[in-house]
């Protein structure tokens, strides 16, 4: 019998046991696909990452991301948390980490800038690997059924419910206020019906709901439901936050603009998370989207195989 080491971190928070949990296998060499999926299922977190040597020596590592049910091409908090773990190591497959990392993933290359305080790595900012993809629209009745919320709570003045992606697809919809957002509950039967009608190619139907909070239009509260991935609710979803931020900026009338958004998530779960999103729009198109957050280490150990 042999074992592999793991580290768990809480992502998008400065407080241990808040934010979004992530398990990182810093050296996954020798693990089969079946073992990776079994480990991800055993942890039961929204994602687990498995770090392998890069296929191109110019990059830092190859990172594979598994939910409890499948491998996915990209996700936000797994990249931020994995960068945090690797950046605090003395070496990554024989090389010192430095301040900039590059991960090979199914969605493409993910560029990472580590953030530090007093010389110690505290988190990371990642650049999303794919341009903003928009569509199809999702009918209001489907959103209402999935979230068990009245149709009149869904706001369509700014945009209709729609699928957006910068590497992983989500249906996004705006609710009228934080109270309506907090009252939402996922209906698995409705998600199964939505998956039949709107299933994306690379994942099952997932729903990212948000509401404006206070007077600042760029400070949002959000919740994410993905029960078909065995993630009833996710306390922080960087990939969805990045996609939503990019989409909202794409709707602005300005041809060229830089916008910083703050998305608060996980409040209803008791795992408050803060996700920072920066979007640059040039000549009418979103040119760059990045996601940033802080992390804290929670646990370290080994898995017997």
User: pLDDT tens digits for 137-172?
Assistant: 999 999 999 999 999 999 999 999 999 999 999 999
Residues 66-71 have a mean pLDDT of 96
Residues 59-67 have a mean pLDDT of 98
Confidence bin at 300 (pLDDT 50/70/90) = very high
Global pTM? 0.95
CA dihedral 219, 204, 20, 128 (to 10 degrees): -60
Sequence-separated (6 or more) residues with CB below 8 Å from residue 143? 149, 154, 161, 171, 173, 207, 209
Confidence bin at 123 (pLDDT 50/70/90) = very high
- CA pair distance 215, 220, nearest whole angstrom: 10
Specify the pLDDT at position 153.
98
Q: How far is CA 27 from CA 30, 61, 82, 88, 302, in A?
A: 9, 10, 11, 14, 12
Residues 173-184 have a mean pLDDT of 98
Specify the pLDDT at position 203.
87
Residues 107-114 have a mean pLDDT of 97
- CA pair distance 136, 109, nearest whole angstrom: 26
Q: Over pLDDT 70: what percentage of the chain?
A: 100
- CA pair distance 24, 52, nearest whole angstrom: 11
Rounded to 5 degrees, φ, ψ at 140 are -60, -35
**44, 297 in Cβ contact below 8 A?**
no
Specify the pLDDT at position 172.
98
Specify the pLDDT at position 1.
52
104: β partners: 62, 109
pLDDT tops 90 at residue 268: yes
Specify the pLDDT at position 213.
78
Specify the pLDDT at position 215.
81
Catalytic annotation on 47?
Answer: yes
**175, 154 in Cβ contact below 8 A?**
yes
Q: Over pLDDT 90: what percentage of the chain?
A: 97
- CA pair distance 276, 241, nearest whole angstrom: 9
pLDDT tops 80 at residue 265: yes
Specify the pLDDT at position 201.
86
Residues 269-276 have a mean pLDDT of 98
Specify the pLDDT at position 214.
73
Give the residue, 190 or 203, on which the prediction is more confident: 190
Q: Which of 28, 66, 63 is nearest to 44 (CA)?
A: 66
Q: How far apart are the first and last CA of the chain?
A: 6
- CA pair distance 261, 264, nearest whole angstrom: 10
Q: Select which of 47, 105, 264, 276 is catalytic.
A: 47
Residues 261-273 have a mean pLDDT of 97
């Amino acid at each position: 019998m042999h074992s592999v080491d793991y580290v768990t971190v809480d992502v998008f928070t400065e407080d241990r046991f808040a934010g979004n949990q992530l398990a990182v296998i810093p050296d996954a060499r020798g693990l089969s696909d079946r073992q990776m999926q079994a480990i991800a299922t055993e942890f039961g977190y929204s994602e687990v990452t498995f770090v392998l040597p890069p296929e191109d020596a110019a990059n830092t590592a190859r990172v594979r991301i598994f939910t409890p049910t499948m491998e996915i091409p990209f996700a936000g908090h797994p990249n931020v948390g994995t960068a945090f773990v690797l950046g605090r190591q003395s070496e990554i497959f024989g090389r010192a980490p430095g301040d900039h990392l590059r991960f090979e993933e199914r969605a493409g290359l993910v560029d990472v800038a580590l953030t530090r305080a007093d010389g110690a790595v505290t988190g990371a900012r990642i650049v999303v690997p794919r341009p903003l993809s928009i569509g199809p629209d999702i009918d209001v009745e489907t959103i209402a059924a999935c979230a068990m919320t009245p149709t009149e709570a869904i706001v369509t003045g700014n945009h209709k419910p729609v699928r957006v992606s910068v590497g992983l697809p989500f249906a996004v919809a705006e609710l009228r206020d934080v109270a309506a957002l907090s009252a939402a509950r996922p209906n698995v039967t409705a998600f199964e019906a939505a998956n039949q009608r709107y299933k994306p190619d690379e994942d099952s139907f997932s729903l990212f709901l948000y509401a404006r909070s206070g007077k600042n239009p760029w400070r949002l509260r959000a919740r994410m439901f993905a029960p078909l991935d065995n993630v009833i609710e996710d306390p922080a979803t960087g990939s969805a936050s990045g996609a939503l931020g990019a989409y909202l900026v794409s709707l602005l009338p300005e041809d060229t603009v830089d916008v910083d958004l703050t998305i608060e998530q996980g409040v209803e779960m008791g795992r408050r998370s803060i996700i920072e999103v920066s979007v640059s729009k040039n000549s009418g198109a979103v040119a760059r989207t990045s996601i940033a957050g802080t992390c804290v280490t929670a646990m370290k150990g080994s898995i017997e195989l």
